[in-house]
Amino acid sequence: MYNTIELQNKIKELKKEKDFCILAHAYQTQEITEIADFVGDSYGLSKQAQSSPQKNILMCGVRFMAETAKILSPEKKVYLSHRDAGCPMAEQLTYEELKGLKEKYKDAATVAYINTTAELKTLCDVCVTSASALEIVKKIPNKEILFIPDCNLGSWIEEQVPGKKFHFIKGGCPIHMKITYDDVERVREEYPDALLLVHPECIKEVTENADYAGSTTGILSYVEKSDAKKFVIGTDNSIVQHLQFSYPDKEFYPLSKRCICEDMRLTTLVDVYNCLRGYCGEEITMPDDLRIKAKKAIDAMIQYGG
Ligand code: 13P
Ligand code: SF4
């Protein structure tokens, strides 16, 4: 039996010995982000998957993130840290349903939030992440946008890109959608001098009443640059913990105690250790034709996104 620090040291030795790059989404726990080679939001993770020199990638996050890494780096072995870690939003639309929507909105560019399956990506013109969506949608020449599956992120973009017509489905993140306008009213009363920073997966009544809306990395860098002393955070509550650890002289509060992504929480340090030893996790494989078709939308994201 190892204690946490011993286990982290074993992981650091093993990842070198076995030529692994460990990528961790910012929603992972502190003990995992500490042993990662890169920690970031979905956009940063996609770019890092492409540029890391190691032969193997271990993605500590959810399935669509590991799939994206595999699509971008087919020559590498890519593993997902916990086989059950999925994103419920990625499966809110079927392949056939999306085909039907594309038929209906023939002139629209199909823009997919990266939180989608590889199969859905094959039908899309471009993927976006919360960090890159605004910049990318502004550059798309089409006047009409079919934005799937997150209608909250989609309408947040729509508000900032006048002149384009958006079509949505009723999709969204079940975790961020637990945050209500009542939560905003409560924290404004409880912490009147705090800034409210939220993820654009929150419902409109929340984002439009926040001081800032942006990706997980966007929220982290907003705090880094701000002189304010108190913040309320409207995204997965791991970010509240990470921020409190990084800035002990400032105060951070969750907008809602319910905003915890169970899928992101599945991976433990022991899973990481066992994955590196070949005992758990899942190697991501996919047929070449699926990968090549899905890659077009991700390549377009990286090209547009810079
Ligand atoms: P980011 O793009 O901010 O990493 O968001 C991904 C995600 O799943 C948030 O719920
Ligand atoms: Fe998916 Fe929401 Fe979890 Fe992000 S927080 S991985 S969008 S379920």
pLDDT, one tens digit per residue, over 221-259 is 999 999 999 999 999 999 999 999 999 999 999 999 999
If you take atom 7 of ligand 1, which residue's CA is the nearest one? 42
Tokens found for residue 194: 């705090």
**CATH number for the domain harbouring residue 73:** 3.40.50.10800
306 in any annotated domain: no
Q: What's the sign of the alpha-carbon dihedral 185, 187, 189, 194?
A: negative
Residue 42 Cβ < 6 Å to ligand 1: yes
Q: Which of 106, 141, 170 is the last residue of a domain?
A: 170
Residue 46 has pLDDT above 90, yes or no: no
145, containing H or E segment: strand 144-148
Residue 35 Cβ < 6 Å to ligand 2: no
Under the banding of pLDDT at 50, 70 and 90, the label for residue 43 is: confident
In the block, which residue shows the tokens 């990318």?
136
294 in any annotated domain: no
- Closest ligand 2 atom number to CA of residue 64: 6
189 and 160 in a common domain:
no
Cβ 130 vs Cβ 153: under 8 Å? yes
305 in any annotated domain: no
**Alpha-carbon radius of gyration of the chain:** 19
- Closest ligand 1 atom number to CA of residue 264: 8
**How far does the centroid of ligand 2 lie from the alpha carbon of residue 2, in Å?**
31
State how far the Cα of 223 lies from the Cα of 65, in Å rounded to an integer.
25
79 and 11 in a common domain:
yes
211 and 159 in a common domain:
no
What is the rounded average pLDDT of the residues 70-79?
A: 95
183 and 118 in a common domain:
no
Q: Which ligand is nearest to the CA of 174?
A: 2
Domain count, the chain: 3
Residue 173 Cβ < 6 Å to ligand 2: yes
What whole-number percentage of the chain has pLDDT above 90?
93
Q: Which of 154, 170, 186 is the last residue of a domain?
A: 170
What is the rounded average pLDDT of the residues 68-74?
A: 94
Range of the domain at 204: 176-260
Contacts of residue 94, Cβ cutoff 8 Å, sequence gap at least 6: none
If you take atom 2 of ligand 2, which residue's CA is the nearest one? 173
Residue 32 has pLDDT above 70, yes or no: yes
Q: Which of 143, 170, 197 is the last residue of a domain?
A: 170
Residue 306 has pLDDT above 70, yes or no: no
Tokens found for residue 29: 């726990």
302 in any annotated domain: no
82 and 94 in a common domain:
no
pTM assigned to the model: 0.95
Residue 152 has pLDDT above 80, yes or no: yes
Contacts of residue 112, Cβ cutoff 8 Å, sequence gap at least 6: 120, 121, 124, 126, 127, 128, 148, 149, 297
pLDDT, one tens digit per residue, over 2-31 is 999 999 999 999 999 999 999 999 999 999
DSSP E strands, the chain: 20-25, 38-40, 56-60, 77-80, 109-113, 126-128, 144-148, 165-168, 195-198, 212-213, 230-234, 251-254, 282-283
State how far the Cα of 55 lies from the Cα of 213, in Å rounded to an integer.
36
Residue 202 Cβ < 6 Å to ligand 2: no
